[in-house]
Amino acid sequence: MRVVSGIQPTGNLHLGNYLGAIRNWVRMQDDMGERAQAAEDGSAEKNAQCLFFLADLHAISMPHDPAELRRATLEMAAALVACGIDPSRSVLFNQAQVHAHAELQWLLNGTARMGWLNRMTQFKDKSGKNREGASVALFTYPVLQAADVLLYQATHVPVGEDQKQHLELARDIAQKFNNDFASEDAPVFTLPEPISPPQAARIMSLRDGSKKMSKSDPSEMSRIELADDPDTVMKKIKKAKTDPEPLPSEEKGLEDRPEALNLVTIYAALTDKSVDDVLSDFGGEGFGKFKPALGEVLVETLRPISERFTGLLEDREALDAILARGAAQARQIAVPTLDATYKALGLVRG
Ligand code: TYM
């Protein structure tokens, strides 16, 4: 079992990333440690491993400021460690230090089809009306994402709902490559499975329940950032858009109330309860009672994370060392697959 996932270092880590992805990464890392310990020597579980990376190569697909990218990459590394990613148990690195990612992307460009990329909704969303002005990197972005996971023979890829389409594409690329260039009993690539946490796979904006919470939303009030102090968290929750109705006692009652559903979903995810369980506690109550309760749970969850985050940011050398060590480990794992890909394609390399 090999778990691989990434996050773009653009802006600060927010609650959507945390509940939709990172918290699940930490759980998988912990679970993996237990499996490895329980496994008999030599069994496949002994090699159970997690790789988590900062997708800095993906970040250049949109206009960006180089100094800001450098800062955000280190901050995101600190944020991941603060959330519980332990660099001595998981491989933590940034793509730019492992050139096999960019190399494999080029090799897979021969297999990916224009029609497949044309269907990607993220490209449509991010390029908007200005398709002609979008970067080529934004279009081929999902091929790099496929390379990210196929390079390590990932079996499981924890992601939020919004990334599932990209994972499907990675499977399509792997399958076509194996069909075209490998024999059935010796495939070059493993087909990765996307996995989303049951709750909170999609956390929405606090200002608009139809848009996902996102780093690129111009309004800071639309998202909770992991480094927000308690006053800011309370203020953002208090101002979060809702409706005047009291909460229903079952999830069905939230069908046409996306903002209310989002807040209840966040509460449920933070307390590891189902939406129905939360509603059985708060059904009939208005937001005047629910919002302060949610704010408190949030503040308590974020407090230890933001304390660790601040401490880590002060030690730049330690952060550099974590990423360099992770990159060295990642390179080693990547080499056999990269070599096998060149060979399968008939490329001569001395
Ligand atoms: P990114 O950086 O946008 O987001 C990182 C992870 O957070 C999840 N996420 C959310 N989940 C729930 N609700 C939200 N509002 C929300 N916003 C973000 C995302 O689903 C993701 O799991 N292309 C990827 C990064 C990437 C990657 C990869 C992921 C590059 N290569 C290989 C997995 C495997 C991205 O931009 O995620």
| Tokens coding 24 | 């699940």
User: How many angstroms separate the Cα of 53 from the Cα of each of 80, 98, 203?
Assistant: 10, 10, 22
DSSP 286-331: -HHHHHHHHHHHHHHHHHHHHHHHHHHHT-HHHHHHHHHHHHHHHH
Task: Indicate if 220-310 has the same CATH topology as 2-195+316-345.
Answer: no
Residue from 17, 95, 215, 265 to probe ligand 1 pocket by mutation (most atoms less than 8 Å from CB):
17
Respond yes or no: is residue 212 known to be catalytic. Answer: yes
Q: Where are the domains of the chain?
A: 2-195+316-345, 220-310
Of 31-40, 165-174, 230-239, which range is least confident? 31-40
Residues 210, 113: Cα–Cα separation, whole Å: 31
Q: Which of 304, 302, 305, 278 is nearest to 289 (CA)?
A: 278
**At 118, is the pLDDT very low, low, confident or very high (cuts 50, 70, 90)?**
very high
Q: Which of 349, 350, 338, 348 is nearest to 107 (CA)?
A: 338
Of 193-197, 217-221, 326-330, which range is least confident? 193-197
Q: What is the pLDDT of residue 161?
A: 84
Q: 5 CB under 6 A from ligand 1? A: yes
Q: Which of 84, 55, 83, 85 is nearest to 69 (CA)?
A: 55
Q: 58 CB under 6 A from ligand 1? A: yes
CATH number for region 220-310: 1.10.240.10
Q: DSSP H helical segments within the chain, as ranges? A: 15-17, 23-38, 56-59, 66-83, 100-109, 114-118, 121-127, 136-150, 164-181, 230-239, 258-271, 275-282, 287-313, 316-345
Q: 205 CB under 6 A from ligand 1? A: no
* Angle, vertex CA 103, rays to CA 87 and CA 136, nearest 5: 105
More confident residue, 350 or 8: 8
pLDDT over 90, % of the chain: 86
Average pLDDT of the residues in 250-261: 94
| CATH fold label, 2-195+316-345 | Rossmann fold (3.40.50)
- Answer yes or no: is pLDDT of 20 > 80: yes
What three-state secondary structure class fits 181?
helix
Average pLDDT of the residues in 120-129: 91
User: How many angstroms separate the Cα of 6 from the Cα of each of 54, 93, 260?
Assistant: 6, 10, 30
Torsion angle (degrees, nearest 10) of CA 66, 72, 78, 79: -160
- Answer yes or no: is pLDDT of 41 > 70: no
DSSP bridge partners of 14: 225
Respond yes or no: is residue 215 known to be catalytic. Answer: yes
Q: What is the pLDDT of residue 40?
A: 65
Q: Which of 271, 296, 265 is nearest to 201 (CA)?
A: 265
**At 47, is the pLDDT very low, low, confident or very high (cuts 50, 70, 90)?**
low
Q: 7 CB under 6 A from ligand 1? A: yes
- Answer yes or no: is pLDDT of 200 > 60: no
Average pLDDT of the residues in 62-83: 95
Q: What is the pLDDT of residue 10?
A: 83
What are 281-321's pLDDT values in tens digits?
999 999 999 999 999 999 999 999 999 999 999 999 999 99
Question: How high does pLDDT run on average in the chain?
Answer: 93
Q: Per the annotation, does 46 bind a ligand?
A: no
Which of ligand 1's atoms lies nearest the C-alpha of 141?
A: 23
Residues 238, 224: Cα–Cα separation, whole Å: 12
Q: 202 CB under 6 A from ligand 1? A: yes
| Tokens coding 333 | 């794992």
Please determine, for the modelled complex, whether the ipTM score is greater than 0.90: yes
Residues 268, 262: Cα–Cα separation, whole Å: 10
Q: What is the pLDDT of residue 273?
A: 93
Residue from 53, 162, 208 to probe ligand 1 pocket by mutation (most atoms less than 8 Å from CB):
162
Q: Which of 159, 152, 17, 174 is nearest to 93 (CA)?
A: 152
- Answer yes or no: is pLDDT of 70 > 60: yes
Q: What is the pLDDT of residue 12?
A: 80
